[in-house]
Amino acid sequence: MHLICLEKAENRMDWWTVVGTVASVAGFAVSLWVLAVARSARSAAQAASASARQRNLVEELEGVSHKFQQVGTLIQQEQWIAVQMWIEEVTASCRVMLTRWPDHLSTERKNELMSAATLLSSIVTAIARAEGEPLNPQQKKRFAETQIRASGHVHSALGEARREQERNGDLTNGD
């Protein structure tokens, strides 16, 4: 009788060992699945973040492009104080973009943004040198040409940023 009880206890232990082993294997499989899902979610979150940063860069460049147009209009209207104020804002925006998104533009486009800021700064310097004296038509023409060249640099950076945005599958451009 004692032998039968011992045999039943061994069968129960074997059964619990099998159940425990199966549960361990199932737990391990679930852990691997959760790990794969977490990695996939992390990759998706990183891609979404990169897409949002690219979209923010495009929006910022579009804003700067619009400001460049305003500078051109103000130059035509000979509103020199407003020109100076807008140029200071535009150059600050260019520098902020270069600091905020250094890895989203090629070296060539970063250099063009710096050139755009420098070109516009030269207009402010020339206006300041005039010390309130009326500017001659040649100076106004040079200012307009400088503004157009600087604007072209910004448009090149905007084009590159939009191209990267489209390559990454983010076709929204805020229009």
pLDDT-based confidence at residue 171 (cuts at 50, 70, 90): low
Asked if residue 19 is part of any domain, the answer here is: no
SS (H, E, C) 73-91: HHHHCCCHHHHHHHHHHHH
Query: For the whole model, what pTM was predicted?
Result: 0.67
- Tokens encoding 88: 């200071």
Would you state the pLDDT for residue 174? Answer: 46
- What's the total number of domains in the chain? 1
Residue 173 lies in a domain: no
In a domain, 20, yes or no: no
| Residue % of the chain over a pLDDT of 70 | 86
Evaluate whether residue 72 is within a structural domain. yes
Task: Tell me which residue range forms the domain holding 75.
Answer: 51-167
* Residue 30: inside a domain: no
Tell me the pLDDT tens digit for each residue of 159-169: 998 998 888 77
Residues 46-69: what's their mean pLDDT?
83
Q: Is residue 124 part of a domain?
A: yes
Residue 175 pLDDT: 44
Over residues 111-129, mean pLDDT? 91
Structure tokens at 85: 């104020």
Q: Establish if 33 belongs to a structural domain.
A: no
Q: What is the CATH number of the domain that holds 80?
A: 1.20.1420.10
Q: Which residue has the higher pLDDT, 98 or 20?
A: 98
Residue 13 lies in a domain: no
Confidence check: pLDDT of 52 > 80: no
Residue 49, token pair as written in the block: 């973040």
CB 97 within 8 A of CB 61: yes
